[in-house]
């Protein structure tokens, strides 16, 4: 596992280094030059093709896993991931691929996984639904496509600050790897370690300096792999509750559901209308008050990066309990509900300016 992690990390790290070093050669296509949008929080144009180092690191790690474990299905897993990554990566280069085509691409990727490597949802530990899923493969396929595509899109939504979605994903992959270890699913665990290595190699350049962004290609790839490995873990190991992966990803998933509700019913806007009201953006604006008002690039970058640890802690409140109760469906269901209530409570406190003082990072002018 260490060999796989290190190989993926080295390949990702090196690719990221080369992309940053020679950014002038591809900046015309790869840089995110829009620094004024409602969801933009960087000060200068930055390459947004960090998905490429992650993908190459994953390919290297999976190739080594396939060689060491003498199995070829991990290569089929990579083939399944290709549509999700490609749609996002093309958007990073052209800025012309909308959210719907990217979402449809993840549905296609999930469908490929369903047929190529039997990555399907056949049980939710809810008797009536389980009977439907087991007797009607089309329902299982549709549910799998929606679930995988939804998680991939959710990870893209929280990809707003340096290190945020990347480190949350590392937490989730380590949790999945832990459960793989408990049920002796070594090959699946090796893919988790390949993803961890690939993301860490990218994060070296992304956090805290923000020298490169994951972009839609990276976010959709990470989200797809989280969802696909979760589906495979549950499908291959009956001891694992299907609510384990749901609790692991409840932060980005509920962030997405709440955003849809907020835009549609509270604001009366289209679901896809961009705004700056996601939880991570509210934390940035009302809790991370360090050097507020400064327009210096280094201050903006530092404040951006200071936001992510708040959400890392929030994500850990779901991932750690999921690891502890990975086989207990009823406890996991209760923990999902508790997390949702805690999220809503936190969001309400921030909106109403009632955040506890100890949670607020105050302005500091001493370094000016």
Distance, in Å, from the CA atom of 183 to the CA atom of 144, rounded to the nearest integer, reads 22
For the CA atoms of 341, 347, 350, 352, the dihedral, rounded to the nearest 10 degrees, stands at: -80
* Distance in angstroms (rounded) separating the CA atoms of residues 27 and 32: 8
How many Å apart are CA 302 and CA 42, to the nearest integer? Answer: 10
Round the CA-based radius of gyration of the chain to a whole number and report it: 20
216 is an annotated ligand-binding site residue: yes
- Asked if residues 301 and 208 have their Cβ atoms less than 8 Å apart, the reply is yes
Place of tokens 């955040």: 355
* 3-state secondary structure (DSSP) of residue 89: helix
**Distance separating alpha carbons of residues 233 and 253, to the nearest angstrom:** 19
Residues 336-354 as b or e (16 or more Cβ within 10 Å = b): beebbeebeebbebbeeee
Decide: 92 and 51 in contact? Cβ < 8 Å. yes
Give the residue among 77, 325, 105 at the shortest CA–CA distance from 219: 105
How many Cα atoms sit within 13 Å of 277 on the Cβ side? 15
Cα–Cα nearest to 273, from 262, 286, 285, 257:
262
365 carries a ligand binding annotation: no
Which residue ranges make up the annotated binding site for Mg(2+)?
Answer: 156, 216
Known binding site: residues? Answer: 156, 216
């Amino acid at each position: 596992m260490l060999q796989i992690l290190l190989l993926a990390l080295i390949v990702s790290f090196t690719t990221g280094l080369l992309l940053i070093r020679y950014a002038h050669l591809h900046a015309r296509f790869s840089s995110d030059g829009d620094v004024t949008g409602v969801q933009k929080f960087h000060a200068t144009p930055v390459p947004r093709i960090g998905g490429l180092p992650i993908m190459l690191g994953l390919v290297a790690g999976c190739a080594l896993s396939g060689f060491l474990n003498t199995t070829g299905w991990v290569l089929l897993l990579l083939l399944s991931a290709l549509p999700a990554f490609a749609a996002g990566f093309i958007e990073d280069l052209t800025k012309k691929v909308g959210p719907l085509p990217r979402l449809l691409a993840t549905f296609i990727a999930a469908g490929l996984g369903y047929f190529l490597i039997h990555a399907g949802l056949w049980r939710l530990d809810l008797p009536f639904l389980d009977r439907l899923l087991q007797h009607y493969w089309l329902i299982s396929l549709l549910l799998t496509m929606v679930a995988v595509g939804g998680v991939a899109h959710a990870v893209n939504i929280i990809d707003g600050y340096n290190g945020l979605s990347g480190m949350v994903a590392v937490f989730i992959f380590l949790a999945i790897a832990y459960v793989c270890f408990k049920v002796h699913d070594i090959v699946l665990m090796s893919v988790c370690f390949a993803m961890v290595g690939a993301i860490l190699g990218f994060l070296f350049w992304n956090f805290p300096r923000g020298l490169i962004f994951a972009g839609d290609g990276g976010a959709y790839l990470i989200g797809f792999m989280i969802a696909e490995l979760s589906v495979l873990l549950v499908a291959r190991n009956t001891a694992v509750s299907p609510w384990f992966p749901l609790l692991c990803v409840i932060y980005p998933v509920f962030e997405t559901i709440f955003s849809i509700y907020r835009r549609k019913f509270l604001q009366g806007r289209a679901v896809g209308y961009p705004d700056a009201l996601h939880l991570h953006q509210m934390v940035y604006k009302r809790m991370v008050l360090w050097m507020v008002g400064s327009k210096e690039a280094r201050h903006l970058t530092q404040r951006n990066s200071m936001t992510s640890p708040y959400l890392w802690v929030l994500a850990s409140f779901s991932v750690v309990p999921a690891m502890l109760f990975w086989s207990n469906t009823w406890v996991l269901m209760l923990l999902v509900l508790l997390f949702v209530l805690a999220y809503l409570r936190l969001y309400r406190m921030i909106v109403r300016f009632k955040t506890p003082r100890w949670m607020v990072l105050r302005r500091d002018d001493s370094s000016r």
